[in-house]
Amino acid sequence: MNIVLDLPTPRNEKLSAKYKRSFAYPSMKDRVPVILSKLVDLLYREKQNIINIYGEGAEEELKTAIGEISQLKNHVQTGKPFEKFSSSDPDTDIWNADLEGFIKNGSKLNYYEAIWLFAECYLYRKIREIFATKSCLNILDPFFYQKSLLLTDSLPAIGPIMTHMEEEGLLDTSKSLSQKQLQEELTMLLKCTLWANRLDLSLAGGTVEVQSDLLHQVRNWDDNILVNDLERVSCLLVAVENSSKIVDYVTDNSGLEILCDLFLADYLVSKCNVKQLNFRLKPIPWYVSDVMPKDFYQTVEAVRSSKNPIYRKFGERWQKHIDEGIWKVKVDLYWCLGKPYSDMVDSDPQLYKELSSSSLIIFKGDLNYRKLVQDINWDPITPFSEAIGKFHPAPLVTLRTCKADVICGLEKDLAEVMNAKYDDWLVSGNFAVVQFDSP
Ligand SMILES: O=P(O)(O)OC[C@H]1O[C@](O)(CO)[C@@H](O)[C@@H]1O
């Protein structure tokens, strides 16, 4: 393809699949087509189930949708130009204005020459468009089957976490823990949800194997946390001065990751004086495994309706947090746009203002990290607070396993040491960063 340059991403440039020696290129060229082919296979396989749920009219629509997904795959592989959206989804005008903006700037808009962040988000919005323009299948989440399977496979892995929490009385409000224990247990839960982010269906091309016994494994992985602000975060969360904290939790993947998010969220409201915890979920099917409201409720229900009494106990607690409004589910369009978070203050001042009331915003995962640091190939020693540009609504932390070649805030020479030891340290998911910023 002659739109590709045999170069790595230049320093301080936004990542793009036009740089052949960057992760964006193989990701777009090899990984995305696999995701789309899997999706086609799955929709074929689930055809009868889909017709049973969505009615006879769904048959013809499904055939069309499958054809459109195959065409989308061809458009990715051949670098076809981006097109405007026409469905009546609430984000259509925003997407079209963004496409227009890039065109006015003279940017080339296709899967290789566009900036990677925008191109990838555009791809998932395109998948949504295929269903948004159908009448029977309008609300079908094409990744539903993969997410459900991931949930089923993940449930056994959380047993040890629940047993530990139960045995240590971590959620028992009548049992008081020392500040030290409070902080240690919090750190352990933060680490569980951090490393649970290693799994995601988009990185794995649609299928993953769930790690069992995360609780014991995380204890051995501290050396793989390349920037570790966990202590700053846990100090802020256990601080007694603020007894009515609000936490905003910008989630990432379904399955083990959201389950670990729920343990942490439970601990925060039970032991850390968090009075309100807002789960910020995705409004549309996103990056295969991202959590939408229905996935969130399905997860709580799966735990609540388990045959195992300890699971049921946790599930009941979680349902109670929801019923009492201590846990709130919030869905904002911004999470599924192709914009970095630095733009939020200008493009969605309302959401920025809402987030400003937070005592801590927790960002999960790699894509949120890329959006935070504007998907720029920073000099790795660039401070995190500088890389996030104009995004400083409240104290925030990013819990991210490294799955894309963008990083900042490293100590001097660390990137060189890592490069000398590992080819793939930025993209393998074997290393992580926990980075904190406060306005
Ligand atoms: O679920 P996460 O951690 O946001 O990861 C999303 C994945 O998609 C990517 O954005 C690229 O496809 C990677 O950066 C990452 O592998």
pLDDT in tens, 55-111: 999 999 999 999 999 999 999 999 999 999 999 999 999 999 999 999 999 999 999
Instruction: State the closest ligand 1 atom to the C-alpha of 23, by its place in the atom list counted from 1.
Output: 11
Closest C-alpha to 121, from 140, 94, 148, 142: 94
279-306 residues labelled b (16+ CB within 10 A) or e (exposed): bbbbbbbbbbbbbbeebbebbbebbbee
Residue 381 exposed, middle or buried by CB count within 10 Å (0-12, 13-18, 19+): middle
Distance, CA 32 to ligand 1 centroid (Å)? 11
Dihedral (CA of 403, 407, 412, 415) sign: positive
Q: Which of 403, 407, 428 to mutate to test the pocket of ligand 1 (most atoms within 8 A of CB)?
A: 403
pLDDT at 33 over 50: yes
Cross-strand pairs, 245:
274
315 pLDDT tier (thresholds 50, 70, 90): very high
Closest C-alpha to 404, from 69, 5, 31: 31
Give the pLDDT of residue 36: 97
Q: Which of 146, 367, 376 to mutate to test the pocket of ligand 1 (most atoms within 8 A of CB)?
A: 367
Mean pLDDT to the nearest integer, 176-205:
83
Distance, CA 355 to ligand 1 centroid (Å)? 23
Sheet of strand 274-281, all strands in order from the earlier edge strand to the far edge: 225-228, 432-437, 396-401, 360-364, 245-250, 274-281, 327-331
List the residue whose alpha carbon is closest to atom 15 of ligand 1.
403
Percent of the chain with pLDDT over 90: 88
Report the C-alpha gap between 93 and 79 in whole angstroms. Answer: 24
Q: Which of 287, 341, 363, 402 to mutate to test the pocket of ligand 1 (most atoms within 8 A of CB)?
A: 287
CB-based pocket (< 6 A), ligand 1: 27, 120, 197, 200, 202-203, 252-253, 287, 365-367, 370, 403-404
Distance, CA 97 to ligand 1 centroid (Å)? 25
Mean pLDDT to the nearest integer, 12-27:
96
What are the tens digits of pLDDT across the range 95-129? 999 999 999 999 999 999 999 999 999 999 999 99
Closest C-alpha to 304, from 88, 151, 145, 136: 151
Stated pTM of the model: 0.96
Closest C-alpha to 375, from 404, 403, 350: 404
pLDDT at 241 over 80: no
171 pLDDT tier (thresholds 50, 70, 90): confident
Mean pLDDT to the nearest integer, 380-409:
98
205 pLDDT tier (thresholds 50, 70, 90): very low
Distance, CA 317 to ligand 1 centroid (Å)? 31
Give the pLDDT of residue 286: 98
8 Å CB contact between 362 and 250: yes
Instruction: State the closest ligand 1 atom to the C-alpha of 289, by its place in the atom list counted from 1.
Output: 1
List the residue whose alpha carbon is closest to atom 9 of ligand 1.
367
Distance, CA 110 to ligand 1 centroid (Å)? 20
Q: Which two tokens stand for residue 327?
A: 């846990």
Cross-strand pairs, 399:
364, 434
8 Å CB contact between 278 and 246: yes
Q: Count the Cβ atoms, other than its own, within 10 Å of residue 417.
A: 12
Give the pLDDT of residue 202: 46
Strands 274-281 and 225-228 turn out to be: unpaired
Report the C-alpha gap between 411 and 363 in whole angstroms. Answer: 22
8 Å CB contact between 201 and 36: no
